Amino acid sequence: MNKKLVCFGEVLWDVLPTGKIAGGAPMNVSIRLQSLGVDTKMISKIGNDALGKELLAIIKEKKVDTSLIQIDDHLSTGEVLVTLDANGSASYDIVYPSAWDKIEVTDDNLNAVREADALIFGSLACRDTVSRTTLLTLLENAQYKIFDVNIRPPFYSIDFLEQMMKLADFIKLNDDELFEVAHALGSNSDNIEDHIVFLSELTNTNTICVTKGKDGAILYFDNQFYKHKGFEVTVADTIGAGDSFLAALLSQVLYSEAPQNAVEFGCAVGALVASHKGANPNISLEEIADFIKH
């Protein structure tokens, strides 16, 4: 039985020195999930402008269901001004307000969330009260809630992150986010596993995944740790690698694949994406299988 997922949040353009690339973490996750055979819908909002139409065409081309993407006649389609350092790591200037800050509750998106196996959401889409209120309403109707913490300064508070983690059934962070959040909430350790257990107990969430960049990832699942040290690749840029990791991991976990295999698969897809330019390169299941074997 095929799973149905809904992603909520920003769809936008990452504007790099070299040009613009379609992006936004929830959109990247939805595109990768769909490419891995998981039926995915995207809840967001774009402007009634050329950038919005272009974005919608790209999402449709990637076979993601766009019927829940709203159109705003007043606000523009989102843009993020991206600069890359010498290592290819990105920093972001996220234009506010954008259309995705004003996502509204509708009968259609409520019904889609009720019917879905899981709702995936991040923290950035909560920077405005309109989208945040919509998300909280949708979460009340979700069967399984996946929180991709995805901190983007200055658009968050520790109190709010704690609230969202307590609502979630599954939390994903990167290692920097884990240390920042765990320390702020009172964890005294400097050990990654201690922090994970601390957050699991604090938020009553029994599934937590932490990515460690080129060093792989660690999954805490039913009181057990599953780790992968990552795959070596030549990095083109890191944009979207964590999003594709999450999508790949979920494509396995939601089908009850062994947790260790799920982490390996996630790390492989994340590494393959980092070896390409941009967040959403086409990568086939055959490519992933060959990459893991070698």
Residue-level pLDDT at 111:
98
Round to whole Å and give the CA distance between 71 and 277.
29
Strand partners, 7: 42, 120
Which residue, among 128, 97, 112, has the nearest Cα to 64 in the 3D structure?
112
Round to whole Å and give the CA distance between 124 and 9.
8
- pTM assigned to the model: 0.95
Mean pLDDT of 259-270: 98
Model pLDDT for residues 27-63, shown as the tens digit of each residue: 999 999 999 999 999 999 999 999 999 999 999 999 9
- Per-domain boundaries in the chain: 4-293
**Cα→Cα distances 51→17, 58, 77, Å:** 17, 11, 6
DSSP state of 252: H
Mean pLDDT of 60-73: 98
CA atoms within 13 A on the CB side of 39: 9
Model pLDDT for residues 95-151, shown as the tens digit of each residue: 999 999 999 999 999 999 999 999 999 999 999 999 999 999 999 999 999 999 999
Which residue, among 110, 79, 113, has the nearest Cα to 10 in the 3D structure?
79
Residue 164 DSSP SS3 = helix
Give the count of beta carbons closer than 10 Å to the beta carbon of residue 35: 23
Model pLDDT for residues 194-253, shown as the tens digit of each residue: 999 999 999 999 999 999 999 999 999 999 999 999 999 999 988 899 999 999 999 999
Residue-level pLDDT at 87:
83
Round to whole Å and give the CA distance between 61 and 212.
31
**Cα→Cα distances 266→32, 173, 216, Å:** 11, 14, 9
Q: Quick one: which H or E segment has residue 159?
A: helix 158-167
Residues in the chain: 294
Mean pLDDT of 280-285: 94
Residue-level pLDDT at 151:
93
Topology, domain 4-293: UDP-N-acetylmuramoyl-L-alanine:D-glutamate ligase (3.40.1190)
How are strands ordered across the β-sheet holding 19-23? 19-23, 12-16, 78-84, 90-94
Q: Would you place residue 16 in the very low, low, confident or very high pLDDT band (cuts 50, 70, 90)?
A: confident
Model pLDDT for residues 78-98, shown as the tens digit of each residue: 999 888 888 877 777 899 999
Phi-psi region of 19 (alpha: psi -120 to 50; beta: other; left: phi over 0): left
Round to whole Å and give the CA distance between 57 and 50.
11
